[in-house]
Structure 1
Amino acid sequence: MDLYLTALLQGLCLSVMALGIYLTLKIFNIPDITTDGSYTLGGSIGAVMLMSNMPIVASLLVVLISGAIAGACTGLIHTKLKIDPLLSGILVMTGLYSINLTIMGRSNIPLIDVGTVFNRVDFLSDVNLNTLVVLIVLVVAFIAAITYLLKSDYGIAMRATGNSENMVKAHGVNTDLIKIMGLAFANALTACSGFLMVQFQGFSDINMGIGIVIIGLGSVIIAGTIISWFGVQAIGKCLALVCLGAVVFQLALAFTLSIGIDPTLMKLTTALFVLAIVSLPHFRLKWRSNG
């Protein structure tokens, strides 16, 4: 398969996780490290269920629920025990490593001759193009669902909680519950992303989630830069740009491989790429002030 096509498909798989990062980071202003654990959780549970010949829809529902429970645990630790959200996420992520290893029973599960969403749903005869279409349909569905949620009364309360929690509390809204539900929803998306990725790559690995939050943050930052440049306001467009950010991120990594960068340096390359993205708004503001 072409390197850039693979990067495109991986970017679409990871874009679902990027949507979850966007909710926690941009809506609630919470850097949620649970992502590393819930991503692997979705992949491990999905792999085990697929190996057991469980229906795709049933597997997806279990994955979503498991990811939501992981996110809710982080929310409960943060809101009820008054522990810093970053530390709360680290605690849950650490615990999930053992849980994921217990679920898998070993460090790696290959999906050989196992039915996946990409070979059970046939839009086109070409395998790669069919995978692309399936992922686009799923991503569009998630964008539509999240857009509807954020435009609803509950979604407005979520956005208000992130902007001014004290004001929302003054109106009698249970902000703790909103945070817990928001983290649950975000990690359900992250688990779904892990579920899609194991089906695409053909295996689940206990270490597949290590550093995955960096990719999500990079995707959101790319989207945030574009949103800032063009003054995008519509929720749906912002979410679409987040997904685009995930694709651009993967394409950039594919480019580094194509020019001969040693694959063992990929983590370093990823860190430097995120650093460059984070620095862009700073240099742009500096350029404007000097101009």
Structure 2
Amino acid sequence: MTDLIIATLGQGLLWSLLAIGVFITFRVLDIADLTVEGSFPLGAAISATLIVEGVDPVVSILAAAIGGMIAGAVTGWIHTKLKIPALLAGILTMIALYSINLRVMGKANVSLLRMDTIYTFFEKLSFMHTWALALVGLLVAVVTCVVLFWFFGTEIGACLRATGVNPQMIRAQGVNTDTMIVLGLLLSNGFVAVSGALIAQGNGFADVGMGVGTIVIGLASVIIGEVLFGTRSFVSNLISVVLGSIVYRIVIAVVLYLGMPPNDLKLFTAVLVAIALSLPTLKAKWQSR
């Protein structure tokens, strides 16, 4: 039971990077970006392929981040320069990334069995794999939150947040909102790709179809975090997203433990997100009575 709890906590922390990426586009930029369903497996594909070729696991994660950032920048360019709606731009990039991911891996699945990963260092220190997952996840989540809190406190970060809140006002201040949108999508998909790389190394494989439903997982983590832990400030937003990812993983672990068929998880997640999104409305109606 302890191993299950630690493994669930570790998975929640690793998936929190995906949730943070979705938070940047969904809450900060107010854009529904489906690129994540392609950039997540892209990060996994790049990392796994490089590791098989003998590249250091940490370097492979950095390469995955760059790949994800390029994917996000492409979506931003399609949206801002070609004036294609953000949702459609993300779908176009997501579809294109499916073929690119196959090109990167050369096949549909790449195994990392008996390969050194970022978790190997901790395992050599006599840590179990589940503990290694949790330690790496905690370290990455803390560093990510600290860096983002600093970044969004800078002038560029403030402009990025203002672009999502009131683009007309920030344009009147002389800020190029197109550049801010591209920057936000770039950052978002960079974090998503890193999450994909970490998950692939933790699971021991990368698969071209592992990105299916990731946008729903990210939204579930964001919404659950906001509902349960609140959004009093930007730092509380970041913490809520991470905690929401952990809670989501705990819920999934519990329902699987109780016997829910794995094939029903996507349906369960969709219903869970719908309920979480409707809670403010239901609460307001209840209070009005």
Question: By the TM > 0.5 criterion, same fold?
Answer: yes
Residue 140 of structure 2 aligns to which amino acid in structure 1?
L
Task: Tell me, yes or no, if structure 1 residue 286 matches structure 2 residue 288.
Answer: no
- Counterpart of 2:120 in structure 1 is 119
Structure 1 residues 123 and 28 mapped into 2: Cα distance closer, same or farther (>3 Å)? farther
- Counterpart of 1:266 in structure 2 is 265
Task: Tell me, yes or no, if structure 1 residue 175 matches structure 2 residue 174.
Answer: no
Question: Percent of aligned pairs with the same residue?
Answer: 39
Task: Tell me, yes or no, if structure 1 residue 53 matches structure 2 residue 54.
Answer: yes
SS in structure 1 at match of 2:182: helix
Alignment of structure 1 residues 140-159 onto 2, 5 Å: 140-159=142-161
Q: Is the 8 A contact 1:123 1:133 kept in 2?
A: no
Query: Separation in 2 of the partners of 1:118 and 1:285?
Result: 46
- Counterpart of 1:69 in structure 2 is 70
Query: Separation in 1 of the partners of 2:125 and 2:232?
Result: 34
Q: Offset at 1:66?
A: 0.6
Per-residue CA deviation, residues 151-181 of structure 1 (Å, 9 max, x unaligned), is 1111100111111101111111111011101
SS in structure 2 at match of 1:109: strand
Alignment of structure 1 residues 89-108 onto 2, 5 Å: 89-108=90-109
- Counterpart of 2:232 in structure 1 is 232
Q: Give the TM-score, by structure 1 length.
A: 0.95
Residue 270 of structure 1 aligns to which amino acid in structure 2?
T
- Counterpart of 1:78 in structure 2 is 79
Q: Offset at 1:219?
A: 0.7
Query: Separation in 1 of the partners of 2:86 and 2:69?
Result: 16
Residue 201 of structure 1 aligns to which amino acid in structure 2?
N
Query: Separation in 1 of the partners of 2:124 and 2:140?
Result: 13
Q: Offset at 1:62?
A: 1.0
SS in structure 1 at match of 2:110: strand
Residue 160 of structure 1 aligns to which amino acid in structure 2?
A
Query: Separation in 2 of the partners of 1:4 and 1:227?
Result: 21
Unaligned runs of 5+ in 2: none
Q: Is the 8 A contact 1:17 1:193 kept in 2?
A: yes
- Counterpart of 2:162 in structure 1 is 160
Q: Offset at 1:56?
A: 2.3
Q: Is the 8 A contact 2:10 2:138 kept in 1?
A: no
Alignment of structure 1 residues 208-247 onto 2, 5 Å: 208-228=210-230, 232-233=232-233, 235-247=234-246
Query: Separation in 2 of the partners of 1:100 and 1:147?
Result: 32
- State the Cα RMSD in Å: 1.5
Q: Offset at 1:123?
A: 9.2
How many residues align? The count is 287
Per-residue CA deviation, residues 80-129 of structure 1 (Å, 9 max, x unaligned), is 11111000000000000000011111111111111111112469632222
Q: Give the TM-score, by structure 2 length.
A: 0.95
Unaligned runs of 5+ in 1: none
- Counterpart of 2:197 in structure 1 is 195
Q: Offset at 1:272?
A: 1.6
- Counterpart of 1:18 in structure 2 is 19
